[in-house]
Amino acid sequence: MKVLLSVVLVCAAFAPGSLGQDVRQMERSGDAAGVRAALASVVQNSPNDVQALANYAEFLDRHSDPGARAAYGKLLAALKNAGNAARTQAVARRLAELDLLAGDRASAARSLDAFRAANGKGLDLPAAPASSAVDGPGMIEIPGPLRSFARMAAVSSDLGPDDLLAALARNVVTNGYQASHSNDALEQTEYLKLVHRYLSQARELDKLAGEKKVIEISNCESKEAGDLLRIIGYRMRGGCGSEVVLETVNASRAFLTTDSGFPLANLEQALRTNRPFTYDYHPTRAPVMYGADYWLTGKEKGAEFIDNFLSDPSLCRLYLGLSKLDRDTAAELRKAMPAPRIKAFAHVLDFFGGMFEIRDGKAIVPGGEKTAAAWAELAGAPPSQGAAFFEKLLARDDGWLASLFDAMSRMSGPAKDYLTDPARLKRFYTAIRGRVTSPGPARPVFRSNADMMLLTTRLRVDANGRAHIPGGLEVWKNLFVNHPHGKYDGKLTKSAVGWKEPEDVLEALFGLSRKAVENEPLKIFMAVSDLDRNRAKPLEPDTVDKLARNFKIMGSQYAIFNDAPAVSDKTVVQFLDTALAISKIKDQLLRADTAGTMQALVGLWQIFSRQGLLPAASADASLSSILGSFAQIRADRDLFDGGRNGVTILLKATGTKDGVSPHDRLVDLLSGTGNPTDIETHGTMVKDAIRVLEAQHIVSLKTLFDLADHLESLGKGEKLNTALVNRFASRISEIQLPRAALTTVEKNAYAFGYWTERHVENQRKVNLRATIDRAAGNAEKLKDARGLMAPFLRDTLVAFNYAHYAPPGAQILYTNPLFVRGHDFLGVQGSNHTWRATEMFGTGWPSNGGGRLVGSLSGLAYALAEAEQNFLIPSQTQALIWADLVPQMILSAKIPRWWNTTPAQMHWIGLHMRYGQTLLAEAALDSTQRAALLDALSAYAAPARTRAIAGLLAAGDAKGAAENIMPAELYAVAADTVARRKDTAGPLLSEIARLRAEVPNQVSNETISRAFGTPKPTLANSYRPELLKLRTFPTLMGYSSRIMAESWESNTLYWVSLADEVHASPGQLNVLIPEWTRRVVERIFASHLEDWPALLRSLNIVGEDVRAKSRSGAAAEQKASLQ
Amino acid sequence: MKLISKLGVAGLVLGLAGSAAWLIAQEERPIFRVKVDMVVLSFTVTDSKGRYINGLKPSEFRILEDGIPQKLNTFAEGNKPALQMMDDGTAKTLAGGTEGPSKPGIDPRSDAFVGTNVFVLFDTSNFMYRGFVYAEDAIADFIRGLDRADSVAIYTFSRNVKRNTELTKERNDAIAGLRSSVVGDDTALYNALLLTLRDAAKVPGRKVIIVFSNGPDNASMVAPDDVRAVAEDEGIPLYVISTNEVNKDPISSSVFRRITSRTGGKAYFAKSWQKQVEAFESIREDLGNSYTVTYYPQPNPNEGFRKIAVEITSDVGKKYRLRYRPGYRPRSGF
């Protein structure tokens, strides 16, 4: 109906010859669907009007509408008829680009002909590469179909044969071998044993398939049927005919059969109906990098390549390492180093070779020419001798120099210039290398330590060109000398006394980064640096000192301050003092309730600050006031008053009018009341929040506060409000005893949870009516009675936080009615979890009372996402292997909210993504543009992928290139190019320029970063969404795997661009992005953690589905409007 | 209830059984109300020797909720066509077959009144590695032996659940789905059971879930008793076949017994292949010999747990043993 109205309005206001202001206004307000319909209508009425056709085609182009090609085609025809050569040339060029992006070479060639016919020059469609050879020494055969082998080898069947061996090599390296129980040698894991057994069975089946490579069973009684059943480990039960059933006779063989996806059910059906059974059993042909002979020694050459490959983990590691290099660099290295020599350093190549690059015989080194001599000195060969340099680099110090090279190659900006200063480079290398170099950083199968990479990536350089040392040098000297929890390092403690410059601190941090133990100073340094990063004025030395000394206990709380950088030093210190005072409360239950209530209120303050609902100017005062309420809690009554006061402060700070229900208002605020234009989405969010609160049987704030007021009134002689008291009592009756039906054995199996059980039990025992009766009108006793409601107030406030971060599906919150109440703010007795990041405890057996969250609320969003991820239902045959990455994806979809986002900002992203694709098409047609694009891309993509994309573009395959560039890279390259190029030709650049001129504040780098970035609590110590435009991190172990996940910034950019395409409103992003993210996760079929292309494939599948549904809906709507 | 009286019974089943009856006025805050859907109750009647008693008439039963007698809406025995109970106490055979919007995991053609919708939840985690192929054989046999009227869905689980075959009457499709299972990963039995229950709850008519698992759960976030509560409220009997011996894992065993008995199902501990086949045979018998009634609860102020009682009115019936779920909690909705 909206479209219909738009058509009527626009047709009236819009003449074919110009793009009226009304239309612009409609587009700006987000009614792109209306504009589309209107422009289509104008074209239908004036089919030969060049301007009308141009307006329509360019509109479709700007919105990535696939109809753009057809529209440009019509425009091209009209321009040819009109004899307008200049415009014909521009349109033909644009059409050729769109043809290439659609993968339509034939149309692109025709469009280029039209371009040339209009005197266009400088564009050529490169010849498509000849199809790769299917035979020859570079190919091996693996028996059986690819799908079966991929299943057994735990490789995604989405991978083509080209990538098969590299993926297999990775699995063999990471999962194929384990330490032997009996000696020092490695032994095969069950995974690898099964792969070997599968190959053995597949060879038997291959033999049975004969030369035709097809398993053919003519009928149930044939000899082949018996042979086949023997090989696959089954037998027939019952005679041939309708009664025949296949059953296991050899469990090992049968397992391989079913696990590899052999079509057993089809075979059974064929035998039962006595029909022929055929199964294509052609072997899988896979290319081997450099040919099989390169990898095998003389005596191995007679055997099957795949068997040798699987049996040699060091060979696999070398294959994996070389597969990460770009082809030219690998070729140079191979020329310079014989295979056995490279193999000796395969582990270093695997971890750090991905950033090696040789161009024109020279090694590309971080820091460029100015650092070349320093690198030459450190490695022992000059970068001008590319292969020799990398050979030396690989061999140096068991990988320490290569690790530094890798970390610095991934950097950009002033920090890179700073760290690659020759003197500093040598100094920091000496620190990271240490005196004892073994074991080197590449010895494990996963990178064990992300500290150095974190330090180099996030180091901040001040305007004076020196490293930013938060709090100043003295704080750090003092920290190392008068360490709070024991020495960080004996030598550093001694040397710290003489520190005089920032580099001294950095040297210490580099030195600690080589250690396998927790690097607390680095964590403190990064956390406080990140606090300073967004502040107008850095934190005072005393504040930094206090933050540093309390990091062990309070460190996970520091990210809170990044959501409101205007928080003063005084309030930061007040937060720490308040938290430490709470930790000293002796009564365990009161302490848990106080910590929970305070954290829940601060959590709400944090959410409101992040969403702009709480003005920056009042953020400091409101936080300080909230904290003030908890400075001295002695009893439950104090706590209830403090909690209530906190709610009042929050309501006031968010501009709440008097008389509004506090409960409803908080739900409204959490559900995006800031943008009243999208009532429908807001309503959906409100309903979702209420569902969670109801499922948790939360007592509303209104009931609690009314009761408190009523208790006070009773003291003044007012009559008892039975209905109010009963409402409260009725809610309490809904709280069930935790796991009431447990047996003693089960109860004894619990390792923790004592205090949360007490918390719930005490709530169930509350009898307000009896308390009132006992008070017998005593005003003081009645006032004390409100302390009974403090635990309920805690749960309600905590529940608001849970509801806000509830992941898509929220199965736990809907199923376990005690999940919120069960939040354990104390943790296992003897430990202190109160201020630690939220953790998931109690999953699975024997603590089968259900998992719960433990610790503070500072990591609540992540913990909820982590807990919920196993409820996602993968669409592929293998379970999700992305356990470390999925929570971050959910987090990125749930923490940012888009209530303040504008249609112009969404369109800005859409235009840049579209322009990024255009750059690819341009690069496919123009070699000069190609060089510029690849240069820009190399700042984000690893050399190997950059070269692969170069190859695709050189073959005119813009579509293939686009499928290999991650959305964040595409956006970054487009944004960099737009900033560099000054021209505004074409529909995309002109629109970008127009937006920049019309709404500069909405499309500044900072605003776009805040709107469409992702929260990075581990990498940037902040939940504030931010677009860092980073290279994706490699696979890391432990907590570091979160850093890798946080370096992935593509999802939101992809979704926003998609939403712009399908004309969704900004408010709808709040519902669509979590839902789309869920669908993407369920469709990921990755072979390993760094398989980003698998994630891109999944994004594209969901994107195409959304587009298809949107198009069919739009087509129907447009048809209706035109009728 | 006014609305109910205006609509036909078949329409009611479709319209209310799965829908959230939330009341929201334009621009007003949504209010949660207790919502009472049609209750589906399955039960078995056995004599003192455990033999199933068949052929009992609707009039021989009395269903009570918190002591309040309920008026039957439909009545079915085994896989025989259901009877619609008329106001005058007579019964007429219902014609099955419905069409509706397709939902994930749901075959819209599933028949609401004839047969049982059987959801098989098969453990494919690392714990099942050894006996996996024999378990597959046993399940395949079970599927082949199901009544023609029954529909079956095959779900597998390890850390995540997977819908191998959605609800279907095609046995070959179900077996093909079963045979496409892949083994490996942690065991999140109760998470998977919850998701299966959520899918089953969307299907009209009678449904059961049969879990085939080795027992120990090492990855679930939800507790067995929370999942049991969902099954109880949705009226979905749970059957568990555990390949673990009872004495090896007493906690799992007692949980299995509890969640099955509280939902009207049964637990079997079947380590050997033969015992597994017997367990499946027993379940099949249970399905073929149970009674299923539906009713819309009479007005009841109790918004908490409502206790169900099934009684046989005849004197001879007093000697029989009845097995059914003890009650349910009406759902909350907007």
- Give the tens place of pLDDT for each residue, A189-214: 999 999 999 999 999 999 999 999 99
One domain, residues A1054 and A913: yes
Give Cβ neighbours of residue A330 (< 8 Å, ≥ 6 apart): A322
B32: nearest CB among A664, A690, A870: A690
Residue A770, class by beta-carbon neighbours within 10 Å (0-12 exposed, 13-18 middle, 19+ buried)? Answer: exposed
Are B190 and B215 a contacting pair, CB within 8 Å? Answer: no
B217: nearest CB among A254, A264, A845: A845
One domain, residues A998 and A1106: yes
Task: Report chain A residues whose CB lies below 8 A from the CB of B223.
Answer: 739, 816, 848-850
Q: Which pLDDT value is given to residue B113?
A: 60
| A766 found inside a domain | yes
| B79 found inside a domain | no
Task: Report chain B residues whose CB lies below 8 A from the CB of A846.
Answer: 251
Q: Which residues pair with A346 in a beta bridge?
A: none
Question: Does residue A333 surpass a pLDDT of 50?
Answer: yes
One domain, residues A866 and A907: no
Q: Which pLDDT value is given to residue A131?
A: 59
> How many other C-beta atoms lie within 10 A of the C-beta of residue A156?
23
**Residue A473 CA from chain centroid, whole number:** 35
One domain, residues A838 and A949: no
| B87 found inside a domain | no
pLDDT tens, position by position, A335-390:
998 888 999 999 999 999 999 999 999 999 999 999 999 999 999 999 999 999 99
| A1074 found inside a domain | yes
| Mean pLDDT for the stretch of residues A696-701 | 94
One domain, residues A677 and A723: yes
Composition of chain B by helix, strand, coil, percent to 5: 30, 25, 40
| B246 found inside a domain | yes
Task: Report chain B residues whose CB lies below 8 A from the CB of A261.
Answer: 180, 182
Question: Does residue A1007 surpass a pLDDT of 60?
Answer: yes
* Half-sphere exposure of residue A768: CA atoms within 13 angstroms, side-chain side: 31
pLDDT tens, position by position, A404-414:
999 999 998 99
Q: Which pLDDT value is given to residue A6?
A: 46
pLDDT tens, position by position, B154-196:
999 998 999 999 999 999 999 999 999 988 888 899 999 999 9
Q: Which pLDDT value is given to residue B87?
A: 82
- Among residues B265, B281, B291, B133, the alpha carbon closest in space to that of B197 is found at B265
One domain, residues A925 and A862: no
Domain boundary among A83, A98, A117: A117
How many secondary structure helices (H) and strands (E) does chain B include?
Answer: 8, 18
| Mean pLDDT for the stretch of residues A641-653 | 97
Are A335 and A327 a contacting pair, CB within 8 Å? Answer: no
Nearest Cα of chain B lies from the Cα of A623 at a distance, in angstroms, of 29
A870: nearest CB among B184, B188, B255: B188
Domain that holds residue A1019: 903-1110
Q: Return the percentage of chain A with pLDDT > 90, whole number.
A: 68
| Mean pLDDT for the stretch of residues A155-169 | 89
| B124 found inside a domain | yes
Are A837 and A853 a contacting pair, CB within 8 Å? Answer: no
Q: Cβ A248–B216 below 8 Å, yes or no? A: no
One domain, residues A609 and A724: yes
**At A213, which amino acid appears?**
K
pLDDT tens, position by position, B215-233:
688 889 998 888 999 999 9
pLDDT tens, position by position, B72-129:
988 988 878 888 888 887 888 875 444 444 334 434 333 556 789 999 999 998 888 7
First-last CA distance in chain A:
13
Q: Mind giving me the DSSP string for B82-126?
A: PEEEPTTS-EEEPP--------TT--TT--SSSS-EEEEEEE-SG
pLDDT band, very low/low/confident/very high, at A1086 (cuts 50, 70, 90): confident
One domain, residues A850 and A703: yes
Domain that holds residue B228: 117-261
Interface check for A867 against chain B (CB to CB < 8 A): the answer is: yes
| A982 found inside a domain | yes
pLDDT band, very low/low/confident/very high, at B28 (cuts 50, 70, 90): very low
Distance CA B308, CA B328 (A): 8
**CATH code of the domain covering residue B167:** 3.40.50.410
pLDDT tens, position by position, A68-98:
999 999 999 999 888 888 899 999 999 999 9
**CATH code of the domain covering residue A23:** 1.25.40.10
Least confident of A178-182, A287-291, A389-393: A178-182
Q: Return the percentage of chain B with pLDDT > 90, whole number.
A: 49
Task: Report chain A residues whose CB lies below 8 A from the CB of B183.
Answer: 255, 259
Q: Which pLDDT value is given to residue A26?
A: 78
| Mean pLDDT for the stretch of residues A512-517 | 83
| Mean pLDDT for the stretch of residues A122-129 | 88
**At A715, which amino acid appears?**
G
Question: Does residue A829 surpass a pLDDT of 80?
Answer: no
Q: What is the mean pLDDT of chain A?
A: 89
Are B53 and B320 a contacting pair, CB within 8 Å? Answer: yes
Q: Which pLDDT value is given to residue A240?
A: 86
Task: Report chain B residues whose CB lies below 8 A from the CB of A269.
Answer: 172
| Mean pLDDT for the stretch of residues A722-735 | 84
| B222 found inside a domain | yes
φ, ψ for residue A285, nearest 5 deg: -105, 125
Q: Which pLDDT value is given to residue B104?
A: 45
Q: Cβ A741–B187 below 8 Å, yes or no? A: no
Enumerate residues 689 to 748 of chain A having a beta carbon within 8 A of any beta carbon in chain B.
Answer: 690-691, 694-695, 733-734, 739-743, 745-746
- CA distances to A66, A616, B82, B126 from A1062, rounded to whole Å, are 11, 34, 47, 43
pLDDT tens, position by position, A844-884:
765 556 788 999 999 999 999 999 998 999 887 654 556 77
Distance CA A346, CA A323 (A): 11
* Token pair belonging to A683: 């309503």
| A209 found inside a domain | no
Under DSSP, is residue A300 helix (H, G, I), strand (E, B) or coil? helix
Q: Cβ A259–B254 below 8 Å, yes or no? A: no
| A541 found inside a domain | no
Distance CA A658, CA A636 (A): 27
Q: Return the percentage of chain A with pLDDT > 70, whole number.
A: 92
- CA distances to A470, A890, A1094 from A541, rounded to whole Å, are 8, 37, 46
**Residue B211 CA from chain centroid, whole number:** 12
pLDDT band, very low/low/confident/very high, at A2 (cuts 50, 70, 90): very low
Q: Cβ B220–A844 below 8 Å, yes or no? A: yes
Q: Which residues pair with A236 in a beta bridge?
A: A246
Please report which residue ranges of A654-742 form alpha helices under DSSP H. 662-670, 679-695, 701-715, 722-733
Task: Report chain B residues whose CB lies below 8 A from the CB of A848.
Answer: 190, 217, 220, 223-224, 251, 255
Enumerate residues 625 to 664 of chain A having a beta carbon within 8 A of any beta carbon in chain B.
Answer: 664
Q: Cβ A870–B29 below 8 Å, yes or no? A: no
A880: nearest CB among B30, B160, B258: B160
| A772 found inside a domain | yes
pLDDT band, very low/low/confident/very high, at B11 (cuts 50, 70, 90): very low
DSSP label at B213? E
| A888 found inside a domain | no
Compare all CA atoms of chain A with the CA of B105 and give the residue at the minimum distance. A873
Task: Report chain A residues whose CB lies below 8 A from the CB of B226.
Answer: 815-817, 850
Question: Does residue B29 surpass a pLDDT of 80?
Answer: no
Under DSSP, is residue B328 helix (H, G, I), strand (E, B) or coil? strand
Q: Which pLDDT value is given to residue A744?
A: 52
Question: Does residue A184 surpass a pLDDT of 80?
Answer: no
Residue A684, class by beta-carbon neighbours within 10 Å (0-12 exposed, 13-18 middle, 19+ buried)? Answer: middle
> How many other C-beta atoms lie within 10 A of the C-beta of residue A998?
12
Q: Cβ A745–B161 below 8 Å, yes or no? A: no
| Mean pLDDT for the stretch of residues A768-796 | 91
pLDDT band, very low/low/confident/very high, at B309 (cuts 50, 70, 90): very high
Domain boundary among A96, A117, A138: A117
Q: Cβ B160–A816 below 8 Å, yes or no? A: no
One domain, residues A833 and A977: no
- Among residues A231, A261, A285, A300, the alpha carbon closest in space to that of A153 is found at A261
Domain boundary among A92, A117, A142: A117
Q: Which pLDDT value is given to residue B62?
A: 94
pTM of the predicted model as reported, rounded to 2 decimal places = 0.91
| Mean pLDDT for the stretch of residues A1055-1079 | 95
Task: Report chain A residues whose CB lies below 8 A from the CB of B130.
Answer: 251
Are B154 and B136 a contacting pair, CB within 8 Å? Answer: no
Compare all CA atoms of chain B with the CA of A840 and give the residue at the minimum distance. B221
DSSP label at A1036? B
Mutate one of A151, A262, A731, A871 to test the B interface: name it (highest B CB count within 10 A). Answer: A871
Question: Does residue A750 surpass a pLDDT of 70?
Answer: no
Residue with tokens 């005596």: A299
One domain, residues A838 and A909: no
Q: Which residues of A105-136 are buried (b: 16+ CB within 10 A; e: fewer)?
A: bebbebbbebbeebebeebebeeeeeeeeeee
Question: Does residue B24 surpass a pLDDT of 50?
Answer: no
pLDDT band, very low/low/confident/very high, at B9 (cuts 50, 70, 90): very low
Q: Establish whether the linkage from the previous residue to A439 is cis, with ω within 30° of 0.
A: yes
Distance CA A646, CA A630 (A): 9
Q: Mind giving me the DSSP string for B234-265?
A: HT--EEEEE-S-GGG-HHHHHHHHHHHHTTT-
SS3 per residue for A443-511: CCCCECCCHHHHHHHHCCECCCCCECCCCCHHHHHHHHHCCCCCCCCHHHHHHHCCCCCHHHHHHHHHH
Q: Which pLDDT value is given to residue A814?
A: 93
Distance CA A79, CA A117 (A): 13
pLDDT band, very low/low/confident/very high, at B22 (cuts 50, 70, 90): very low
Nearest Cα of chain A lies from the Cα of B38 at a distance, in angstroms, of 21
| B321 found inside a domain | no
pLDDT band, very low/low/confident/very high, at A321 (cuts 50, 70, 90): very high
pLDDT band, very low/low/confident/very high, at A752 (cuts 50, 70, 90): low
Q: Mind giving me the DSSP string for A205-249?
A: HHHHHTTTTEEEE-STTSHHHHHHHHHHTEEEES-SSTT-EEEES
Q: Cβ A848–B180 below 8 Å, yes or no? A: no
Question: Does residue A110 surpass a pLDDT of 70?
Answer: yes
Compare all CA atoms of chain A with the CA of B139 and give the residue at the minimum distance. A247
| Domains of chain B: total | 1
Question: Does residue A746 surpass a pLDDT of 70?
Answer: no
Task: Report chain A residues whose CB lies below 8 A from the CB of B180.
Answer: 261, 877
Least confident of A391-395, A547-551, A778-782, B213-217: B213-217
Q: Which pLDDT value is given to residue A365?
A: 97
Nearest Cα of chain B lies from the Cα of A735 at a distance, in angstroms, of 11
Question: Does residue A32 surpass a pLDDT of 90?
Answer: no
Question: Does residue B263 surpass a pLDDT of 50?
Answer: yes
| B43 found inside a domain | no
| A464 found inside a domain | no
Give Cβ neighbours of residue A290 (< 8 Å, ≥ 6 apart): A138, A322, A334
Question: Does residue A17 surpass a pLDDT of 70?
Answer: no
B160: nearest CB among A246, A686, A870: A870
Compare all CA atoms of chain B with the CA of A816 and give the residue at the minimum distance. B226
Interface check for A764 against chain B (CB to CB < 8 A): the answer is: no
Q: Which pLDDT value is given to residue A215?
A: 97
> How many other C-beta atoms lie within 10 A of the C-beta of residue B162?
24
Task: Report chain B residues whose CB lies below 8 A from the CB of A840.
Answer: 221
Are A812 and B222 a contacting pair, CB within 8 Å? Answer: yes
Are A826 and A591 a contacting pair, CB within 8 Å? Answer: yes
Q: Cβ A258–B172 below 8 Å, yes or no? A: no
Q: Which pLDDT value is given to residue A882?
A: 67
Q: Cβ B194–A851 below 8 Å, yes or no? A: no
Task: Report chain B residues whose CB lies below 8 A from the CB of A694.
Answer: 32, 332
One domain, residues A596 and A686: yes
Nearest Cα of chain B lies from the Cα of A152 at a distance, in angstroms, of 9
One domain, residues A698 and A795: yes
pLDDT tens, position by position, B278-296:
999 999 999 889 999 999 9
Interface check for A680 against chain B (CB to CB < 8 A): the answer is: no
Interface check for A268 against chain B (CB to CB < 8 A): the answer is: yes
Q: Which pLDDT value is given to residue A20?
A: 60
Compare all CA atoms of chain B with the CA of A268 and give the residue at the minimum distance. B172
Give Cβ neighbours of residue B229 (< 8 Å, ≥ 6 apart): B329
Enumerate residues 899 to 958 of chain A having a beta carbon within 8 A of any beta carbon in chain B.
Answer: none
Residue with tokens 């700042």: A939
- Among residues B65, B105, B111, the alpha carbon closest in space to that of B310 is found at B65
Question: Does residue A534 surpass a pLDDT of 70?
Answer: yes
Q: Which pLDDT value is given to residue A203?
A: 97
User: Can you say whether the dihedral through the CA atoms of A19, A23, A27, A29 is positive or negative?
Assistant: positive
| Mean pLDDT for the stretch of residues A631-644 | 95
Q: Which pLDDT value is given to residue A675?
A: 64
Q: Which pLDDT value is given to residue A435?
A: 86
First-last CA distance in chain B:
16
| Domains of chain A: total | 3
Nearest Cα of chain A lies from the Cα of B89 at a distance, in angstroms, of 38
Are A38 and A6 a contacting pair, CB within 8 Å? Answer: yes
Mutate one of A693, A750, A845 to test the B interface: name it (highest B CB count within 10 A). Answer: A845
B222: nearest CB among A746, A815, A879: A815
| B22 found inside a domain | no
Distance CA A625, CA A645 (A): 9
Give Cβ neighbours of residue A86 (< 8 Å, ≥ 6 apart): A118
CA dihedral A337, A343, A348, A353 (to 10 degrees): 50
Q: Which residues pair with B75 in a beta bridge?
A: B83, B293
